[in-house]
Structure 1
Amino acid sequence: MKRLAKGLTTLVFCLLVVMPAYAELDRQVIYLFGDDRALVLVGNKCQGTVFYVDNKQKFATKVTSGFKVSLFPFIHPSKKYIAIPYRDLSGLMVSKDYGRTFEDASFTPGGGAEEFKGNHPLVKDVVSFTVVGDQGFFLTKQNYIYLSSKPFGDRWGLNYVALNAIDHLTYKHQENFQNFPTSVPEVKDYKGWTHMQCDPTR
């Protein structure tokens, strides 16, 4: 516990050093990837502007504003590909360069599970979101998997689709949308948090 507290203090210090303009605003570490990387929320009542902070590399990147903390399990050992879903699953912000820049990602139109309307899973159905091997995997209560493409090609990681809907996509023959795993890969020895955390009274 002392090690974790020390890590949080150092990460917040890094945020203040890199972006002193935010020094007077309320901030919380809402997710810890491990000892050196975290998501820091600047705002109140668990919403505001979220930053990705890399203490080891000494930088902090603004991810997005108007962010609300997600409540479903979130397991993220990947370092190069960072995926941060919006709470309502209307999309994600992703980085493919270790958190130095972020861009929009989305669920592909027509790429939802066949039994449900819409392109993305319902928040109430999400069992977990896991980012491992530079791919993102949403698992639902119905045992559907929504996942991003394999990590290569110009648009890798920017389109999420249900496994059982891939055959309906125009780009199903692209190499990075083939030979997907049929289950969420196992994560071993992960030292980060498994949920985002936030104090709603702040």
Structure 2
Amino acid sequence: MLIISYLLLSLVLFLFCFFKRWHLFCWLSYSVFLVCFLAIIPLPGEDKVKYRAPTQVVFRFDEYRFIQLTGYGCQGRMYYVDDQKQIYYELARHSAKVLTEPFAHMPEDYIFIPSTDYSDIDFSQDGGRSFSSFHIETIENMGSYHPNYNTVENIVVMNNQFFLKDKNRDIYRSPKPYGTRPAIISATSEKFFEDSIQYMGLRWADRPQTMPTIPANYTGWRRWQCDPSLKIPITVYNRYAPLIKLQTQLRHLLGVTDEVTHEKEAD
């Protein structure tokens, strides 16, 4: 209550000096009133914590090459990064998601990155300097079939070839790395296209009966990894902090020991 007494007394003195036209005392009493008012007024007194989208490495080919995702809930912008060759390529501007199926990818020039619904595949044959998209072939003799996350069992990329094990269509594969036209088809589709020149020759020879085995010296990951709860906190410091410090000093000068309850600053 002492500070209230100072405030009222300085106000009374100011009004008295104002009507008496004692200008010097008027300014002095007004200054005391302002000091007391500053010492008592509540100020927003808390720092705020906000959050920004985290950046996570969601898949690693080796020590230098990896896939990076920026966004909340394991969804957002996706990049292919090669620290050694200084490559930073944006695969998706937004809404990209991580794969949940087993996935192993040897660090080679040919790179295959499927979308989570397997509607398309981002493909590079120059070590990630450029990418293009193409679709898994779905046409079959009796109609069409499309693999999805419920049917895909395993994905392996090695020797610059893509292999996908599906519960219903066995092994999908891309051709051997000759030429420039990418494609991924199943054994069933190969039978349907066996007379098509596009799927003939050395590129499509030696259909595997089992999924290839990743070498023991493979240092990359065998699954994508992501923490959906991750957020990056940012402290927004209280802009009134200097005034609060000054207010504390004024209250100490006036002999006031009780604390002022500062308000929370609205977002």
Q: Secondary structure at the match of 1:67?
A: strand
Q: Extract unaligned runs of 5+ from structure 1.
A: 1-23
Q: Which amino acid aligns with 2:102?
A: P
Identity of aligned residues (%): 29
Structure 2 equivalent of residue 69 of structure 1 = 98
Deviations 1:178-197 (A, max 9, x none): 33222222111211111111
**Deviation of 1:57 (Å):** 1.2
Please tell me whether the aligned partners of residues 102 and 154 of structure 2 are also in contact (alpha carbons under 8 angstroms).
Answer: yes
Match of 2:4 in 1: none
Structure (1/2) with the larger helix percentage: 2
Residue-pair matches, total = 174
Q: TM-score, normalised to structure 2's length?
A: 0.61
Distance in 1 between the 2:65 and 2:226 partners?
A: 17
Mapped to 1, the partners of 2:169 and 2:191 lie a distance apart of 18
CA distance in 2, matches of 1:119, 1:159: 15
The match for 2:175 is 149
- 2:192 counterpart (162, 168, 172): 168
Please say if residues 30 and 198 of structure 1, whose CA atoms lie closer than 8 Å, have aligned partners that are also in contact. Answer: yes
8 Å contact from structure 2 (residues 171, 187) kept in 1? yes
List runs of 5+ in structure 2 lacking aligned partners: 1-51, 231-267
52-61 vs 170-179, which moves further: 170-179
CA contact (8 A) 2:160 2:177 kept: yes
CA distance in 1, matches of 2:85, 2:160: 19
Secondary structure at 2:139 match in 1: coil
Equivalent positions of 1:1-202 (< 5 A) are 25-65=53-93, 66-110=95-139, 118-142=144-168, 144-155=170-181, 158-169=182-193, 170=196, 171-188=198-215, 189-202=217-230
Q: TM-score, normalised by structure 1?
A: 0.79
CA contact (8 A) 1:95 1:101 kept: yes
Which one-letter code corresponds to 1:82 in the other structure? I
Shift of 1:177: 2.2
Task: Give the letter aligned to residue 44 of structure 1.
Answer: Y
What's the CA shift string for 1:91-137, capped at 9, x where partnerless?
A: 111111001111102112415xx78x634323212111110110100
Distance in 2 (alpha carbons) for counterparts of 1:91 and 1:56: 28
Higher relative contact order (CA 8 A, sep 6+): 2
Instruction: Kindly indicate whether the alpha-carbon contact (under 8 Å) linking 1:78 and 1:133 is maintained by their aligned counterparts in 2.
Output: no
- Aligned CA RMSD, in angstroms, stands at 1.9
Q: Distance in 2 between matches of 1:110 and 1:37?
A: 34
- Bigger strand share: 1
